[in-house]
Amino acid sequence: MTTNPTISVIVPTFNRRERLHLTLQSLAEQVVDASFEVVVVSDGSSDGTDDVLRNGETPLRVEPRFQHNQGPAAARNLGIDTARGEFVVFIDDDIVADPNLLQHHLDAHRRLGDRAVVIGPMLNAPDFRYSAWVAWEQEMLAKQYRAMMAGQYSATSRQFYTGNASLRRRHLVEAGGFDTRFRRAEDVELAFRLEALGLTFEFVPDAVGFHYAERSYESWEAAARAYGGNDVRFREELGSGTGAWSVGEKYRRQHVAVRALVRAFLSAPPLRRWSMTVLRHQVTRSDELTRVRRAALSVIYATEYFSGAVDELGSTSQLWQIVRAT
């Protein structure tokens, strides 16, 4: 009789064959006092990933699953259906896990009890050069990590990023898994529902994953817009304590100059289009994240995020009502 593993590591992947190999190599090198399996779900890959998985050409044995391209939410749901472990650890296909990552996740669950969601950091890879916009994004993550480690606030559903996170499988099943309507922020949307079920979130800084993040500028910009629209949808579907906090409070937490520019750009679309062109030229000229590029990226991201919120709300006046009510 085969004993089920304690941990199921779920890795969704799409057209990252070489990067996936590094992720799996890091999982093959894990030092953990429990059994684990690795479930890799190919979300319609067309770069040879499926052949590698079918032929077993991986650094460790995996449970491969395949689907037509449906997005990361559907891929993770298939992974959950396949998983046999008590605990599920989500790892993205651009993460290289520290050798003790799984042990730290497991130790945290043993310490925190049944209803914990454990979040590990996705740190800069020391041997990797980031584009300016991804470096900016990594800085925003690092800022959150430092604040949590300093005790300025505790982890919440807002920090549930499935690049490096874990919880008991039965809680995922109880929550209904990921909502496949969302291709961005689907992890945070699930986290809101987990929170409603009484689960708590814990940041464990020792459960380190190194983030080899690559994305085009267009993808980065589109993601910002999608996050803004999705936060409005979360507010409408899950209650004002979720998306409303994000949309209204995010605006109020922006630097005063960023708030002023966002308001001006949303009020004058021609000005916005011209300004975004100028700012894009500035941030894509080089990968170096200078002070000027950092400021420009903050303005671009905020403008796209709140533009996405306006698109979903239907008007800028609706956005300002939320801001005033926050």
DSSP-derived secondary structure for 278-324: HHHHHHTS-S---HHHHHHHHHHHHHHHHHHHHHHHSSHHHHHHHHH
- For 172, the token pair is 């995922």
- The shares of helix, strand and coil residues in the chain, as percent rounded to the nearest 5, are 55, 15, 35
pLDDT score for 245: 55
Quick one: how far is CA 111 from the chain centroid?
25
Backbone angles phi, psi at 23, to 5 degrees: -60, -45
Domain boundaries, the chain: 7-211, 217-325
Three-state SS for 219?
A: helix
Short-list 54, 78, 31, 101, CA closest to 172: 78
pLDDT score for 244: 46
Backbone angles phi, psi at 263, to 5 degrees: -60, -40
Residue-by-residue pLDDT tens, the chain, 326 positions:
458 899 999 999 999 999 999 999 999 999 999 999 999 999 999 999 999 999 999 999 999 999 999 999 999 999 999 999 999 999 999 999 999 999 999 999 999 999 999 999 999 999 999 999 999 999 999 999 999 999 999 999 889 999 999 999 999 999 999 999 988 889 989 999 999 999 999 999 999 999 999 999 999 999 999 999 988 888 777 764 554 457 888 899 899 999 999 999 999 999 999 999 999 999 999 999 999 999 999 999 999 999 999 999 999 999 999 888 87
326/313 Cα distance (integer angstroms): 16
323/246 Cα distance (integer angstroms): 10
186: Cα within 13 Å, side-chain hemisphere? 19
| Global confidence as pTM | 0.92
DSSP-derived secondary structure for 16-81: -HHHHHHHHHHHHT---SS-EEEEEEEES--SSHHHHHHTT-SSS--EEEEESS--HHHHHHHHHH
In CATH terms, 7-211 corresponds, of 3.50.50.60, 3.90.550.10, 3.10.450.50, 3.40.50.10470, to 3.90.550.10
